[in-house]
Chain A
Amino acid sequence: MQITIKRDKSFEDFQISEGLTLLAALYEIKEQHDPTLTFSAGCRASVCGTCAVRVNGREELACAYKPKEGDTVEPLQYHPVLRDLKVDKQQAKTTLQKSQTWLHSYTEVALTPQDAHLTERQTDCILCDSCYSACPVFAVNPDFLGPFALTRAYRYTVDKREGESKSIVGAVQTNGVWDCTLCGECTAVCPKGIDPKMDITMLRGESLNHGYSDPSFANQSFGTPDFGGGFGFDPNGGF
C-alpha cells in the first residue's frame, strides 16, 4: 500500500505493509526505510495524546487510524512544524495558562454521581491538539484560546468544588468564548468524543450569568464615535 507523507520540503511516497495502524506504519518506515522520518508518538493506545496528525485533511490519532491506499499524511495545522510530522505544542500550555484552567479555590462539598457526571466527558481530554488543528478561528486569530482550553475552563467552572468560577470565566473573555464561530469542527475531530462546541456554548451562558456580554455587539459601530474598538485586528469585525 502506498501513502504520501508531508516532509519538510516536499511530499514523499512510501510503501507500507497492509493491516498496520498509521503509527505502526510510520515506525515501519523509520526502522526499515528512512531513519530520518520524524513524528511524535507515545502509548499506542489513544490515551497519551502525542501522535495526532492530519490524514487527507482530517485530524486523526496515528495510533487509532488504519491507512488506506493513497492517503496523505500531514502535520497538525496552526502549530509551528518542527520537522516532518512533528509540531511544537508549547502554545497549548500558554493557552491553558491564559485560560486559568485549574481549581482556583477549593470549596468543601461532597460530590454526587450527578455532579461528577457534569465533568466526566470534558476530563477525557488527552490534549492531542486535534481540535486546535481543526479550528478555523486560528486562521484569523492566532491568539484564540481554542477549543480544548475552553472545554477545560468549562470543566472547572461547573465543578462544584470550585469556589471562584468567576475568575475562570473572566479569563476566557478575551480571545475566548466569544471568538468561537460555533462551527463544530473541533467536535467532529475529537478522538475522545468531547464536544467543545457545546462546552463553549455553555461557557457563554456562564459568562452572561457572571455579567459578561458578547463584545461583538458592543464593538459594532452604528455611526457613533468609536472609542476603544477599531484598533488592532478584530476577527469578529465584519462578520
Chain B
Amino acid sequence: MTNPEIYRSLMPFYAVMVSLIAAPLILMSSRQANLREFWTLAASLVKFAVVFLLLPGALAGRIAEFIFWEISPGIALSLKADTLGVFFALIASGLWILTSFYSIGYVRGLNEHKQTRYFASFAVCLSATMGIAFAANLLTFVFFYEILTIATYPLVIHKETKVAIAAGRKYLIYTLTAGVLLIAATAWTYRITGALDFRAGGLFGNTSLSPSIMMVLFLLFLGGVGVKAAVMPLHSWLPAAMAAPTPVSALLHAVAVVKSGVFGVVRVVGFVFGPELMRQFGLNTLLAIFAGATIILASLLAFRQDNLKHRLAYSTVGHLSYIVLGAALLSPASLIGGLLHIANHATMKITLFFCAGALYVKHHKEKISELDGIGRAMPWTMGAFTVGAIGLAGVPPINGFVSKWQLGLGALQAGEILPLAILVLSGLLNAGYFAPIVYRAFLKKPAVPYERGEAPPAMVIPIVVTALLSLLLGLNPDLFFHFYRLAVMVSGSILGGGP
C-alpha cells in the first residue's frame, strides 16, 4: 500500500471560495439580472475548472491539501482533495453548471420572485458542498454540513406559500436535529481518539471499546448523516422539500444535499469506523438492513405518488440507499458500485427533475395523471425522461445499469444473496413506477391536444446534455471524468488494497 503524496495547494480553497465570493456579488447586482446571472455562470464554470484541475493529481495519488487555521485547539479547519472528495466535487460542480443554465431558464420562464436570494443561496450551497467534499476532518465536515443546512433553507421555502413554509420547518427540524447528533458524535469521537482526521480504513485504530458504545456512536453518526441521506425512517423531509423550485430539487435534492448525506455515510463507514470495526461490531449489517428496507419501502411508496416530483423524491430516497447499501456491504465491487451510483444517479435523477421542471414551466403540469400525450408535444424533454427512467430501472446501456451491476457483484463478493434480491426487486419496482409515466406521455391521447413546443432552450439543452451524459457514462463509465478509476481507487483505499 503506497501512501499518497500530500502537497499544499490553494486549489481546494479556491473550489470552496469561488461561489462564496460569488454570493455577495450576486446580491449586489440584484438590479441587473444579466450581470447577476453572469456571476452565477462564471462561478459555476470556474468552480468546475478548479475541481477538474484537481482530478489528475487525485488520479495520480497526489492529494492537494489546504489548511485554513485551527478552529479548536488541535483541530484545524482543513481541506483535502482526496480521491473520494474529488469524485464528489466533480459531480456536484459539473452538474451545477447545467443547473445554472437551467435555473435561469426556469426562473425567467416562470417569472419567479426573489431571484437574487435564490441564486445567492444556491452559490452558498455549492460552496458548502465543496467544503463537505474536501473536508479533511470531521469538524470541518460538520462545519460545512451545517452551513449547507442553513443555506438550503431559503431555497426550500422559496415559494413562500404555506406548504413551502411548512416544508421548511420540517426540513429544519430534521436537519438541525441531525446536525446536533453529528456534533455529539464528533465530540465523542474526538474524546475517544484525540483526532478527527479522516483516514481511509478508519480512525479508531485498535480501540478496545465496548460494542454498546460503538453501537451508540454509530447510531449517532447515522442519525447525523442519515437524515440528509434520507435513510428511512429519517427521509420524510425530502418529499416535503419538493415544495422548492424544481432546479433546487434537481441539484440539491437529487445531487448536492442528499449526496452530501450519502457521502457522509461513506466517510463515516470508510474513513471513521473503517471496514474492520464495522464488521467486528456488526455495524455494517445494521446499516445494510436500514438501506435494504429503505430501498424497498421507498420504491413502494413511489407508486402511490401522483405528483411527479414526489414520485421522483421517493425514487431518490430509494436510490440513495443503493449507495448506502454499497457502503454497508464493504466488498470491493459494492463500494465501486455505490460510489458510481453517486455519479450515475445524479445524472439520471437530475435529468428527470429537469424534465419535471420543463413540464411545469411549459404547461404547469405537476401531476402524473395529467401527462397524457405530452410526449408528442415535447419529444426532447420526454425522450430524455425516458432515458433517465430506464436508466434508474437498471437497463443497459444507461449508466444506472453499470452501478447496479457492480452492486450486485459486490453483494455476491460479500457472500450475501438478500441484497442482490433487493436490488433486482427494486429494479422491477423502478420500472413499475416509471413505466406508466412514459406510457401516458407517449401512448395516451391528451384530452386537449397540446401545442407542439419545448420549454426555453436554456432548459432543454441541459436536459439533453444530462440524458446524453447518462448514456455515455453507461457506455463507458470511465469517460471524461474517470469516475470508474476514482471509484476503484477509493474502494481500494478503504479496503486497504491501494491508494
Same complex origin of A and B: no
Q: Which residues of A contact B (CB under 8 A)?
A: none
